[in-house]
Amino acid sequence: MPSLTLAEARARADLLQVTDMEVDLDLDQGAEHFGSVTRLHLRASGDGQTFVDVDPVSLHAIRLDGVELDVALQAERRYPLTLTAGDHVVEVEATMAFSHDGEGLHRATDPADGQDYVYGHLFLDAAPTVFACVDQPDLKAPYTMTVRAPQGWSVIGNGRATLVEGVWHLRRTQPLATYFVSVCAGPYASVTAEHDGIRLGLHGRASLRAELERHAPQMLEVTRASFDYFHSIFGIRYPFDDYDQVFAPEFNAGAMENPGCVVFRDSYLFRGAASRSEVLTRSNTISHEMAHMWFGDLVTMRWWDDLWLNESFAEYMAHRCLVAATDFEDAWVDSTATRKAWGYAAERSPSTHPVAGSPAPDARSALANFDGISYAKGAAVIRQLIAYIGDDAFLAGIRDYLGAHAFGNGELADFLAAMERASGRSLADWAQAWLSTAGVDALAVDRATAQLVRTPPAEQPAQRPHALDVATWSGGSLTSRVELTATDDTTPLPGLDTTAPLVVPNAADLTWATGLLDERSLAALTSELPAVTDAQTRAVVWVGLRDQLALGLVDPRLLVDLAEVALPHESDDSVLASVGMHLTGTVVRSYLPAAEEAPARARMAALGERILADAEPGSSRALHAARLVARTTDDVEGRLRPWADGEGLPQGLEDDADLRWVVLGQLARRGLLDADGVAAAREQDRTMAGNLGALTARAAIPTPEAKAQAWASLTTDRSLSNYELVAVASGFWGPADRSLVEPYVARYFEDVPAMAGHLGDSALARVASIAYPSRFGTPETRALSQACLARDDLDPTVRRAVVDQQSQLEEVVRSRARYGA
């Protein structure tokens, strides 16, 4: 099916305005289909040919200005129209299908009570599967909606919903892009409040009422603080209706910024113990989505190549807000430890792209650029912009940009013009270097000359100015810190203590660069890093080591050695969690030689036991340590079996079902829990999370029969939802006996691409990435991957996933070749 091209969008925008949208949905027609009636109010600037977007199960009627048209003309998600100049009304009656892959109008059943829930996720081009529309971001319109839903359901949408004689009427909205329209319906539990004249709502599945009510005070606190902060700096009050936040089952992304109806994945309603870093992540997401009410919703990008005007700003503003207005003053440390690590990995891939202006010839291709560059790098670039023009000018430019384009669209040139007016400086060269050119510079310190050395990537040269610092440490004491702006390939560092054991470029993580530690600093890490008192510097060092590992510049054994001495002293929750996950999920599992994997995992288990023994009972630190032990221990009788039975668990984890499924998965992976045992555990936890845990554990069972069944479920069972497919993929590749899954390495490159015919792009991208055989980091796997990419019939979403995963596999192959395989 075609995806809207930029040329088509421009031609349609030249001809049409969408002046109003009326949508009536009937969700009370059973579990598979729903009714959709749309009245599109269009204004044509002249006579011309165009089309509306609609993707129905069955198109019952279409009328133009009351005249019946031939429904047989609908094809490939489009209906052609011939319009004359002036105003028109197009009425479309259709039956649509609920989805199970997280796109369109997704319907899920909660096994805890058998209740069904619906949420609308119309990004990126899924709106035509819900209602007829002109589906492009620059043709915004007000929406008036009605929804008929089963008795006992509530309805939440972009406008306040009122029930009148069995039908929910949603208040008319401000102009919205199609991809922001959402309806959530089901027997949701709710918590309501009010702040500064804004009605607030939090909603979750009925079976999660206790979790919703337990977490609501903290989530409302962050919501209120974010509103106050953004009102204080943007100069425009929240411009939409009530502010509802819906925690929906099987949601594809972390969250989606639908105006007045933000949708989150409901795993944020932690049912077990939650660490501080997890609550920080949720708080950051709450603030991020609210920032979108201005960046994205009030002012929307004209086309998908300006995605950064949404995501980079929300990413930056959320961290800024948390630091300034909440208790999470360490939010930038979390950004370094988690978000920037993700972004640097994207930058190393052949699929890297500029922050702004990435080619998006059609809507579908733009989906590939929703990655760590659009988010983490974009936020870092904004910090560099502020260093370049000053914060006062930046905020003045923001207010100018938002005010000039409110309820309309903006693009890169509009934003830069506002910043230039506010600062009085030309940004042409700066924007070319930072926004329009891909790539990451390497920064290193030459001790002999006391200079910072900047090395741009050869394939993407640019003269990027870096505002940053360099810090030196000895015995836990900061011995010098030099702040500078590097505009040349070498920059003097006056006053730098070049004799210090540890020299850290970009220690405060102010810029976007690969910070390379010199050989003396690398040698000193095991003695110096545990004593460094600055969490931001420690996060920078760990993320820098990830980069140097991926580039083949450090032995993976160094990271294992360093973890043993540094993590027992690590006080920052985000650093502890992210380093532990990277070590167990990547370093030990992929980079180390196969013969060293089990001993290294045992060392990680012992490390977890040490931290657990010293941690305050019930603390975040204890939680991370217990999870580390559960992922790595071989102590079946002392840890795995008792914890699976709920015995001897650390304080605060006695009823943690999610930790129990990690343990059960480890027992299954070792062949100590069969399918009947998994089923019995599933009966004790008849929840959505329990279902996913059971699917992962069953896929982990190390028998040929279990692997064959899991692979068939993954690649051919169309009844599985997006979350269920990910759960199966997550458990598949893990047995100690790799021969059980080795035959599936080649099968991945045939069977997973074939899934493109029945799975939406967002779900397909995630499944293709998680199912990729990265555990087999060999030249043979690389050759199979390269052959797959050589196909001319490969789906673009699968292609992007394989490109990125192959890039990481090549990093492993390079490391093993250098440091021993």
Whose tokens are 């509530």? That residue is 154
Contacts of 746 (CB under 8 A, 6+ apart): 784
Kindly state the average pLDDT of the residues 262-273: 95
User: Residue 176 is part of a domain; what is its CATH number?
Assistant: 2.60.40.1730
E strands, 54-160, are 58-64, 67-68, 78-83, 86-97, 104-110, 115-121, 143-148, 154-157
Q: Given this model, what pLDDT does residue 358 score?
A: 77
Which pLDDT value is given to residue 414?
Answer: 97
Where is average pLDDT lowest: 303-307, 419-423, 480-484, 624-628? 303-307
364: pLDDT strictly greater than 90 = no
> Could you tell me which of 85, 58, 80, 57 has the C-alpha nearest to residue 69?
80
Closest CA to 728 of 693, 682, 769: 693
Q: What is the mean pLDDT of residues 175-184?
A: 98
- Cα atoms in the 13 Å half-sphere on the side-chain side of 373: 27
**Distance in angstroms (rounded) separating the CA atoms of residues 39 and 11:** 22
Q: Is 151 exposed, middle or buried (0-12, 13-18, 19+ CB in 10 A)?
A: exposed
Number of domains in the chain: 2
Q: In 231-372, which ranges are E strands?
A: 243-248, 255-256, 261-265, 299-301
Q: Is residue 677 part of a domain?
A: no
**Confidence bin at 301 (pLDDT 50/70/90):** very high
At residue 1, the pLDDT reads 61
What's the rounded mean pLDDT across residues 254-260?
96
Q: At what angle do helices 391-405 and 378-389 cross, to 10 degrees?
A: 120
Please report which confidence band the pLDDT of residue 759 belongs to, taking 50, 70 and 90 as the band edges.
Answer: confident
The token pair at 544 is 């820098």
Please report, for residues 205, 581, 593, 736, the alpha-carbon distance to residue 777 in angstroms, rounded to integers and kept in the order given: 41, 19, 10, 15
Give the tens place of pLDDT for each residue, 393-438. Answer: 999 999 999 999 999 999 999 999 999 999 999 999 999 999 999 9
Backbone angles phi, psi at 556, to 5 degrees: -60, -25
- Assigned domain for 163 exists: yes
- Residue 369 scores a pLDDT above 80: no
Q: Are residues 263 and 337 in the same domain?
A: no
Kindly tell me the number of DSSP H helices and DSSP E strands found in the chain.
28, 28
Judge whether 37 lies within some domain: yes
- Tens of pLDDT along 617-673? 999 999 999 999 999 999 999 999 999 999 999 998 998 999 999 999 999 999 999
Can you tell me the distance from the alpha carbon of 691 to that of 703, in angstroms, rounded to the nearest whole number?
21
Provide the percentage of residues in the chain whose pLDDT is more than 90: 93
Answer left, alpha or beta for residue 717, where phi above 0 means left and psi between -120 and 50 means alpha: beta
Establish if 211 belongs to a structural domain: yes
Nearest to 532 by CA among 609, 589, 474: 474
Mean pLDDT over the full length of the chain: 96
Q: Are 146 and 106 in contact (CB under 8 A)?
A: no
Claim to verify: residue 242 and residue 375 sit in the same structural domain: no
Q: Across-strand partners of 81?
A: 50
Provide the token pair at 420: 């230039």
Instruction: Name the H helices within 183-304.
Output: 209-234, 276-291
Q: In terms of domains, do 88 and 168 share one? A: yes
Task: Please check whether residue 611 is in contact with residue 650, taking contact to mean a CB–CB distance below 8 angstroms.
Answer: no
59 falls within a domain: yes
**Residue % of the chain over a pLDDT of 70:** 100
Same domain, 120 and 178: yes
Q: Known catalytic residue: 289? A: yes
Summarize pLDDT for 18-27 with one digit per residue, the tens. Answer: 999 999 999 9
Per-residue burial over 431-443, b = 16 or more CB atoms within 10 Å of its CB, e = otherwise: bebbbebbbbbbb
Is 70 exceeded by the pLDDT of residue 70? yes
Q: What angle do CA 506, 552, 450 make, to 5 degrees?
A: 35
- Distance CA(381)–CA(372), nearest Å, equals 13
DSSP conformational letter for 725: H
pLDDT at 757: 81
From the candidates 289, 570, 724, 810, give the one annotated as an active-site residue: 289
Q: Which residues are registered as beta bridge partners of 443? A: 454, 515
Token pair recorded at residue 231: 């009102």
Indicate if 111 and 168 belong to the same structural domain.
yes
Whether the per-residue pLDDT at 252 is higher than 90: the answer is: no
**Residue 307 clears pLDDT 80, i.e. is over it:** yes
Q: Compute the residue count for the chain.
A: 821
Chain centroid to CA 118: how far? 21
Convert 233-246 to b/e letters by CB count within 10 Å (16 or more is b): bbebebbbbbbbbb
DSSP string, 387-427: HHH-HHHHHHHHHHHHHHHTTEEE-HHHHHHHHHHHH-S--
36 plus 116 within the same structural domain: yes
Q: Is residue 606 part of a domain?
A: no
Q: Quick one: which of 617, 667, 624, 671 has its CA closest to 644?
A: 667
The DSSP line for 487-542 is -SSEEE-TT--TTSSEEEETTT--S-EEEEPPHHHHHHHHHHGGG---HHHHHHHH
- DSSP SS3 for 251: coil
Closest CA to 336 of 512, 467, 502, 565: 512
Q: What is the pLDDT of residues 433-463, one digit of tens each?
A: 999 999 999 999 999 999 999 999 988 888 9
Q: How many CA within 13 A on the CB side of residue 28?
A: 14
With a cut of 70, say whether residue 821 has pLDDT above it.
no
Q: Are residues 339 and 224 in the same domain?
A: no
For helices 391-405 and 209-234, angle between their N-to-C axes, nearest 10 degrees: 100
Instruction: Specify which residues 201 forms β-bridges with.
Output: 192, 244
Select from 434, 460, 484 the last residue of a domain.
434
Beta carbons of 105 and 129 less than 8 angstroms apart: yes
Please tell me whether residue 297 adopts helix, strand or coil conformation: coil
- Residue 459 to residues 239, 348, 352, 369, 613, Cα–Cα distance (Å): 44, 12, 11, 19, 49
Q: Does residue 369 form part of some domain? A: yes
- DSSP per residue, 769-785: HHHS-TT--SHHHHHHH
Look up the CATH number of the domain holding residue 426: 1.10.390.10
Domain that holds residue 406: 300-434
Please, are residues 340 and 543 in contact by the beta-carbon 8 Å criterion? yes
Do 26 and 94 belong to one domain? yes
As given in the structure block, the two tokens for residue 613 are: 């023994």
Domain match, 323 and 263 both: no
Q: Based on the domain organization, do 157 and 23 belong to the same domain?
A: yes
Residues 316 and 248 in one domain: no
Q: Is residue 421 part of a domain?
A: yes
Q: Which two tokens stand for residue 11?
A: 């031609």
Task: Clarify whether residues 106 and 253 are in a common domain.
Answer: yes
